[in-house]
Amino acid sequence: MIRHLLSGADLDAATATRILDTAAEMATVAGREVKKLPALRGRTVVNLFYEDSTRTRISFEAAAKRLSADVINFSAKGSSVAKGESLKDTALTLQAMGADAVVVRHPASGAPHRLADWVDGSVVNAGDGTHEHPTQALLDAYTMRSRLGRIAGLSVAVVGDVLHSRVARSNVLLLSTLGAKVTLVGPPTLIPVDIAQALAPGTDVSYDLDAVLPQSDVVMMLRVQRERMNDSYFPSAREYARRYGLDGPRMRRLPEHAIVMHPGPMNRGMEITPEVADSPRSTIVEQVANGVSVRMAVLYLLLGGNNR
Ligand code: CP
C-alpha cells in the first residue's frame, strides 16, 4: 500500500480497486447500531484545514472516529497561523504530538506534497488549491460503481469550470486508470489548452454540452468557482447557465440509466437547477454518504489497520 495519498496519479488500478472494495466493507458499518470498528485504536489522525470545507472535513472526522482513532481538528482560523506561523512549523508541532496521519486542505497547490517531506506519518490531500482532490475522485468512482455496476467502459462527462477544479483533475487521472472514457466539457476559457492530454491521453474535450449528453453514462457537474476568478471567463451567469448549466430538458437528453453527479457545494440555478439536483438521477447526497466509507478505507489502508 502507498504511504501518502497526494494525487489521483498515486493510485494504480489494483490499489484504487482495493480502496473501493474496502470502502464497500466499511459501508456495512454505517448500517449498524454501533457505527464503530476498533481498527485504528491508539492512532492519531489530524485534520489540518487551511481552507473552508463542509463535506470533506466532516467526513474525514466521521471516518477516523468510526475507526476508533483519536482525532485532532485544526483549523487555520483561530490558530497561531494568524500570528504568522508557517506550514512547516505547524507540521513539526503536529509531528511532536504524534500524528499518525495528517489530512490536509490548503489553498496552495502542492502544500500536501511539502508536508509529506516534513512529517513521519501519512499525508492525505483533502484538496490543494486548483490542483487535486484524490479522495473526492475515489468517492465519485465508488458512487459510479455502486449505481452502474462498473467503471471500465463508462463514458463520463465532466462539465464546467475545469480550469479551477481539483475535482476534475483527480477524476480524470483516477477514472482513466480504471478504464472509463472522460470528456471535459465547458467554455474554451475554462478548459486549459492541452489539459486532457497532459493528464491522461485519451481524454476528450468538447465545448458542446448538448452533443455530449446523449452518449454519457455519467455527467459530473462542476461548481463555478467565482472566488478563484480574477477575470471574466464568460459574459454573465445567465449566459453560462444557458450554455453549460444542467436543467430538466438537458437532463432528459441523457440515456435512461445515466446519473448526475456534483461534488458540492452547488451553485443552484447556475451549473445545475434544483429540478436536476433533487431528481432521482442525482447522486449528490449519496456521494456525501459514500465519502465517509471511502475515507475510512483510505485511513485504514494507509495506516495499516491492526497490522502495526
Ligand atoms: N466536495 C468538497 O470538497 O466539498 P467541501 O469543500 O465542502 O469539502
**Does residue 263 line the site of ligand 1, with CB under 6 A?**
yes
Position 305 scores a pLDDT of: 63
83 is in an annotated binding site: yes
274 is in an annotated binding site: no
> Rounded CA gap, 119 and 98, in Å?
10
For residue 197, the CA-to-ligand 1 centroid distance in Å is 26
Residue type at 259 in one-letter notation: I
User: In the block, which residue shows the cell 504511504?
Assistant: 3
Q: Whose CA is nearest to atom 6 of ligand 1?
A: 53
**Does residue 183 line the site of ligand 1, with CB under 6 A?**
no
> Rounded CA gap, 257 and 231, in Å?
38
In sequence order, the β-bridge partners of residue 260 are 219, 282
Q: What is the DSSP string of 277-292?
A: HTSTTB-HHHHHHHHH
User: In the block, which residue shows the cell 468517492?
Assistant: 139
Name residues of the chain where pLDDT drops below 70. Answer: 230, 305-308
Query: What domains sit in the chain, N to C, each tagged with a CATH number?
Result: 8-132+288-303 (3.40.50.1370), 134-287 (3.40.50.1370)
Sheet of 101-106: strands edge to edge? 70-75, 44-49, 101-106, 122-128
Q: What is the DSSP string of 247-276?
A: -HHHHTTS-TT-EEE--S---BTTTB-HHH
Q: Pick the atom of ligand 1 nearest to 56's CA.
A: 8
Percent helix / strand / coil, the chain, rounded to 5: 45, 15, 40
Cell of residue 156, nine digits: 463520463
Residue 62 φ/ψ, nearest 5 degrees? -60, -40
> Rounded CA gap, 214 and 33, in Å?
42
Q: Whose CA is nearest to atom 3 of ligand 1?
A: 56
**Does residue 170 line the site of ligand 1, with CB under 6 A?**
no
Residue type at 12 in one-letter notation: D
**Does residue 279 line the site of ligand 1, with CB under 6 A?**
no
Best mutation site among 56, 131, 223, 287 for ligand 1, i.e. most ligand atoms within 8 A of its Cβ? 56
Sheet of 218-221: strands edge to edge? 204-206, 181-185, 155-159, 218-221, 259-261
**Does residue 127 line the site of ligand 1, with CB under 6 A?**
yes
